[in-house]
Amino acid sequence: MPKLNISIDEEQKNFEADVAAIEKQWSSPRQAHLKRPYDARTIAALRNSIDATPSASSTQALKLWAQLREHNRNGTTELTFGTTDPTVVSQMAKHQQTVYVSGALCGFSEVAIPGMDHADYPWDTVPKVVAKVFKSQLWHDQRQRQFRLRHPKEKRAQLENWDYLAPIVADGDMGFGSLTSTMKMAKEFVDAGVAMIHIDDLAIGMKKFTVGQGRTVVPTSEYLDRLRTVRMQFDIMGAETLLLCRCDTDHSEFITSVIDERDHEYVLGATNKVEPLKDSLVKAQAEGKDLKTVRSEWKDKAGLKTFDEAVKAVASDSEYSAYTAEVLKEKFRSLSARREIASKTVKQDIFFDWELPRSSMGQYMFKSSVKAVVERAVAAAPLGDVTWARMDAPVWDDIVEFHTKVREVYPDRLFAFGYTGDYEYGKAGFSPEQVKNLPWDLAKMGVVWQVQPIWSLQGLNMVADQFGKLWAEEGIAGYVRDIQAPALAQKPMADGFEKLSWCGGYLADAFFETVAGESITER
């Protein structure tokens, strides 16, 4: 293999030019709000000697950024939903500005072995679906453009002209493991043409759905490392791709580690001397007892509290006031620092052991709150472009508090919101009118992107079930009456195989005409 014939001076000159270009990009209106733990020289040194990054992701990201900023200025919002089907995406172009590719949907429909939303599919699963969807968007854009240009200018105003290139927002889950796998996933997303991905703070492989236990999050430091890794990969590629920072801390019940003192305030410990929870559960299982009941009884005996709650339980009012006054002199206090302060301000000894409640998988028990979610969101904000607090339970006061508190720190922050979970609005105290106005009330707080992630499960299942019943009972007569006749009668005709402009018939023939030397456009 021959050596590169380049002078050292030329190499350094090219490097300095790369550094200058990176610094210019980072100071642009699009990226000026981002704060990185590294400098432009570091990123320049990590780049290839040629630009090998496709431009589509940046093009779509800039388009999405403009859409979101416009919504923020106008107090409006984008309402989209999740799908993995290119045909569905082609219809979304008529009503939605964006498309969402959900990891949960991919886990059901785009893998060899489907399963519940454990994010246990290969790390390149969602990027591959994004690539499939984006290529379908390009095809629809191409066949529509060709069909329009085969008509003279004066007739084009009457033709359909949809924006099929809706920016794609995709689910990056928790990054799928190590720093390098997160980097590779981010790169695949950019290569696929994504406009924005979201990364969350959930623990890998610890989701449970039917045993009455909540979510498990990782320490704040690990969450931020995930975001830094994605940001670094985007920067290495020179991509404008947006990063959506999602916090799943709300209603989480466990945390994997207590390595980060920022999380210590919310970790639960036993305030009574009891045997470890895991030992109680092992005995209960051997005796054939119901583990849910045993776990609940153990919690009652243990007197689970945060350390601050444990202090308050034994301290006098004046002692607790002195304790909190000292704790609040710094934004974050470790457990050891809190113990030391308590020893100086409270007469009674405080028994608190956060090891006793640990699960058989090693998780610590965690008491989530809006304050905890806000702190994570604020810490993550400088690394990303949009913030999403996953709040499955529709507690309006919590939703308002979260978005208000974050905007006290970052007044122009853009937010996303997902309609996940059961959302039993009646039980949560919402009136029908409040439910009706919810998207627009959220928009007033800067929630510019709202998504129903899993319509393609519940929604499509209902439609398929209804048609399956119709077909089984009535056959072609039912199809012609309820599907084909209305589809052909509406103006414009419903998109389908019979509509040659939509299914690509004209585009296919245009290729033959071009090869034959015929003209395919009208002036």
Mark the binding-site residues for Mg(2+), compressed into ranges.
Answer: 171
243, containing H or E segment = strand 242-247
| Spatial separation of the C-alpha atoms in residues 251 and 211, rounded to whole Å | 15
Closest CA to 376 of 213, 247, 199: 247
Closest CA to 196 of 26, 2, 387, 13: 387
Tokens 């439609």 map to which residue?
463
Q: What gap in Å lies between CA 130 and CA 170, rounded to an integer?
A: 7
Please report the DSSP string for 150-190 in residue order.
Answer: TS-HHHHTTS------PPEEEE-TT-SSSHHHHHHHHHHHH
In 454-472, which positions are buried (b, 16+ CB within 10 angstroms) versus exposed (e)? bbbeeebeeeeeeeeebee
Burial of 285-321, coded b for 16+ CB within 10 Å and e otherwise, reads eeeeeeeeebbeebbeebbbbbbbebbbebbeeebbe
Q: Is the Cβ–Cβ distance between 80 and 95 less than 8 Å?
A: no
Residues 6+ apart with CB under 8 A from 180: none
- Report the binding-site residues: 171
C-alpha span between 19 and 189 (Å, rounded): 24
Residue 419 has phi, psi (to 5 degrees) of -90, 75
For the beta carbon of residue 32, count every other beta carbon within 10 angstroms.
9
If residue 23 lies in a helix (H) or strand (E), which one and from where to where? helix 8-26
485 vs 480: CA distance, rounded Å: 6
Q: Tell me the C-alpha distance between 55 and 341, whole Å.
A: 55
- The tokens of 356 are what? 């006793």
Phi-psi region of 251 (alpha: psi -120 to 50; beta: other; left: phi over 0): left
CA distance 118 to 176: 11
The DSSP result for 70-94, as a single string, is HHHHHT--EEEEB---HHHHHHHTT
Q: How many CB atoms lie within 10 A of CB 429?
A: 11
Tokens of 330: 């710094």
Give residues with Cβ within 8 angstroms of 513, minimum separation 6.
519, 520
What Å distances lie between residue 293 and 26, 100, 144, 147, 299, CA to CA?
Answer: 55, 40, 61, 66, 10
